Amino acid sequence: MRTRLAIIFLFLSIFANAQVNSNSYNSEVTLTAGLYAPLTQNNGSDLLLTLSYGHFFYNGLGYTAGIQYVPSVVNVDDILGFPIAVAFRTGYEDASERFASAAGNAARSARINGGDRQNILANALLGLFNQTQFYLGVTPGYIFGESSKVGWSRTGNLSHDEFWTERKSPLYLSLDGGIAFNCSIWRFDLRLQPAVHYWLTDNLVTHSSVVDEISGPLSDKTSTARWFFSLSGGLSFRF
């Protein structure tokens, strides 16, 4: 067990130190993929693909712009967006020091918890993230899909639920905020990026009703989907 852990820590240490001074590169191109999910609607999640360009100045301030695509969300298809944001990135922390700290935490965890492998690996991986980026911006976009078809599920012998999503205007605008954790390997960054999105426009309205098959609708509920969460991972190249 100790030999395997030593090999893992050595491997991670080599990668943590195999980097140049990435602060000297002011521009970056990033490709990420992840999930995009509504926070207040029970409609599952879908894929999010993003390609972006960013430029940063000597004080850490900068901007990003790109294009993103969501195949389907809240049962409406083909959503194309153009995210624009102001951003701030911290300086790179010394990766070897962070790795040493993570290895120490992992060793203490092994002594306390009897060698919990998941805890040890989590501490080691956290030591590789040596820069953080914050961003706030907007995403104007266009929804190519139409309103969804009516779906239903049976709730009783003579009753069922009906649900569908109404797509109002195809043009949308969202307010976005997020944070990115970077792991530097030479001029590349491995990136983990959670974010929240608030749709300022009333585009996606969900309808649900309980229908008695003899007397008709018993109840009807509508709500507008506004809050969304995304979690993406990907690769950046600095130049």
Q: How high is the pLDDT of residue 133? A: 94
CA distance 213 to 154: 11
Closest-CA residue to 123 (of 135, 109, 141): 109
CA–CA distance, 58 with 73 (Å, rounded to integer): 38
| Beta-carbon count within 10 A of 18 CB | 11
Instruction: Check: CB of residue 205 under 8 Å from CB of residue 223.
Output: yes
- pLDDT, tens digit (0-9, with 9 covering 90-100), for 133-143: 999 999 999 99
Angstrom distance (rounded) from CA 206 to CA 197: 18
Helices 117-126 and 95-113, packing angle to 10 deg:
170
Q: Of the candidates 98, 87, 89, which has an alpha carbon nearest to the alpha carbon of residue 19?
A: 98
Looking at every residue in the chain, the average pLDDT score rounds to: 79
d(CA 209, CA 166): 14
Q: How far apart are CA 119 and CA 98, in angstroms?
A: 16
The CA distances from residue 33 to 46, 194, 220, 235, 236, in Å, are 11, 11, 36, 10, 12
Q: Which fold has domain 2-92+130-145+170-197+230-238?
A: Porin (2.40.160)
Supply the pLDDT for residue 69: 97
In the prediction, which pLDDT does 78 show? 94
Consecutive sets of 10 residues in the chain, 239 residues long: mean pLDDT of each? Answer: 50 48 77 93 80 94 97 91 96 64 63 62 64 95 85 57 82 97 86 96 83 59 89 95
Residue 70 corresponds to which amino acid?
Answer: V
Strand partners, 127: none
How far is Cα 20 from Cα 30, in angstroms, rounded to an integer?
18
What's CA 166's distance to the chain center, in Å? Answer: 25
Is 22 strand, coil or helix? Answer: helix
pLDDT recorded at residue 25: 78
Q: Say how far apart CA 9 and CA 113 lie, in whole Å.
A: 19
pLDDT digits (tens, 9 = 90+) for 155-213: 655 555 666 788 999 999 999 999 999 888 888 989 999 999 999 999 998 877 666 55
Whether 230 contacts 177, CB under 8 Å = no
